[in-house]
């Protein structure tokens, strides 16, 4: 796992962002920070937890997108006292027939993953922008990251209080997302959008 400070100054408010599979900071580089520091985690080839102390911040927010909604839970002890939690187009059961990507679909994606299938997958994420411009990760890295996420074992789960779901999501099925979060009793905001939604926003605090 890698991390990068997208903004770090004397701000007393913090956003921790868990990115989706295969992505890096380029997909959110256009978002304004306002009065937040922003720390991004990405590249889940391994799940070793970096050592961070967030106690010096007065206001802390977790924003997780796609597979990040699942991976962030390994940080449970460090994130459990945050003020707000937003999940975007993801669930805490990402490889699941009822609550995530169907297992057969996920496993076949891993088995047949190559440069061509990677390109097709990126087109499913969004038709609005060319995601080739937003990530420089190699095909083999992307495949191994899919395996790493699938094999990850989570013991404790964070309580999200806001969820954004895209009705046109072609990656994480809309109905499965809706089923998962409805059963959790979480506030749900639906967007008429694909899996990638950040191009619809200008500021980080719009996602809180």
Among left, alpha and beta (phi > 0; psi -120 to 50; other), residue 43 is left
Q: Render 8-73 in DSSP notation, one character per residue.
A: -SS-SEEEEEEPPTT--GGGGTTSB-TTEEEEEEE-TTS--------TT-SEEEEEEETTHHHHGG
pLDDT at 133: 57
In the three-class reduction of DSSP (H, G, I as helix; E, B as strand; rest coil), residue 5 is classed as strand
152: its two tokens: 């990850």
pLDDT at 207: 97
pLDDT at 201: 96
pLDDT at 136: 66
Fold of 2-207: Rossmann fold (3.40.50)
* CA geometry: angle 177, 33, 18, nearest 5 deg: 35
**Domain chopping of the chain, boundaries:** 2-207
Question: Taking the model in full, what pTM does it have?
Answer: 0.94
pLDDT at 118: 78
> How many whole angstroms separate alpha carbon 201 and alpha carbon 88?
13
CB atoms within 10 A of CB 75: 19
- Mean pLDDT by groups of 10 residues along the chain of 208 residues: 94 97 90 97 86 93 98 95 98 97 94 83 70 68 92 94 97 97 97 95 96
């Amino acid at each position: 796992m890698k991390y990068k400070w997208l903004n770090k100054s004397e701000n007393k408010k913090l956003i921790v962002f868990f990115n989706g599979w295969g992505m890096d900071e380029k997909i959110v580089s256009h978002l304004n920070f306002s009065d937040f520091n922003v720390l991004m985690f990405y590249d889940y080839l391994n799940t070793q937890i970096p050592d961070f102390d967030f106690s010096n911040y007065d206001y802390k927010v977790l924003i997780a997108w796609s597979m990040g909604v699942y991976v962030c839970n390994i940080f449970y002890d460090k994130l459990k006292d945050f003020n707000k939690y937003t999940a975007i187009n993801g669930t805490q059961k990402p490889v699941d027939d009822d609550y995530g990507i169907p297992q057969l679909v996920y496993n076949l994606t891993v088995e047949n993953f190559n440069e061509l299938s990677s390109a097709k997958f990126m087109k499913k994420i969004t038709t609005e922008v060319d995601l080739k411009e937003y990530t420089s990760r190699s095909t083999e890295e992307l495949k191994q990251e899919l395996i790493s996420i699938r094999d990850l074992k989570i013991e404790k789960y964070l309580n999200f209080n806001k969820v954004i779901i895209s009705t046109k999501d072609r990656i994480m099925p809309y109905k499965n997302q809706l089923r998962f979060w409805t059963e959790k009793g979480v506030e749900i905001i639906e967007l008429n959008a694909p899996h990638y939604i950040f191009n619809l926003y200008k500021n980080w605090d719009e996602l809180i």
